[in-house]
Amino acid sequence: MAEFIKIYNENPDPRKIEKVVSVLQKGGLVIYPTDTVYGLGCDITNTKALERIAKIKNVKLEKANFSFICNDLSHLSDFVKQIETSTYKILKRALPGPYTFILPGSNSLPKVFKKRKTVGIRVPDNAIAKALVVALGNPIVSTSIHDEDEILEYTTDPELIFEKWQNLVDVVIDGGYGDNHASTVIDLTTQEPTVIREGKGSLDIL
């Protein structure tokens, strides 16, 4: 059964962050808050953990549309091919923020993602998510927590999330109520930026 850990976004407790990171390092799955909806994540370098998430989401790992949660744009060169100045300017304007950007994947992607031509990059404006990535030392691979409710697409109450997911994951972080709007997804691999999904993030950044 998962552990339920309360962490405050205004000032995340370093000891609690370390506790969650040690779970990630051992291949654990963690549900954590972002600046949009709650996410389900694991260490990008742990193939077994990635396979667990793919199984939960009922998708093939190599075809899964997971996002890479980064602390800032410094991780980009690890996973993304050289990008144009105009693209970089959009990223600088938008991040950190409620956006997922589709970018051309590089040859240095983790083994399970090697065949991917593109990757989704997120730098959420959330202190807990950022603290986890910083303490882990590399990105978290993440996917949104969906709800079966026909009206609410995403569960916003961490206690309800814990009730539902406690037997599937290792840690659920209570970082307060989440948002019910997912990130805006923008494809930057095309000639002109293409909006794949309009979510919480404004399109004024384009």
CATH of the domain at 42: 3.90.870.10
CA–CA gap between residue 152 and residue 8 (Å, rounded) = 25
Q: Which domain holds residue 175?
A: 3-205
CA–CA gap between residue 33 and residue 21 (Å, rounded) = 14
CA–CA gap between residue 116 and residue 119 (Å, rounded) = 7
Confidence category of residue 110, pLDDT binned at 50, 70, 90: confident
Helix axes 127-136, 14-25, angle to 10 degrees: 60
pTM (2 d.p.): 0.94
pLDDT at 170: 98
Residue 151 reports pLDDT greater than 60: no
Mean pLDDT across the chain, nearest whole number? Answer: 93
Q: 204: Cβ–Cβ under 8 A, 6 or more apart, which residues?
A: none
Confidence category of residue 67, pLDDT binned at 50, 70, 90: very high
pLDDT at 148: 62
Q: Cα–Cα distances in Å, from 204 out to 40, 43, 93, 187, 195?
A: 28, 32, 10, 15, 12
Number of domains in the chain: 1
β-pair partners for 119: 103
Mean per-residue pLDDT, 27-56: 96
CA–CA gap between residue 132 and residue 137 (Å, rounded) = 8
Mean per-residue pLDDT, 127-144: 96
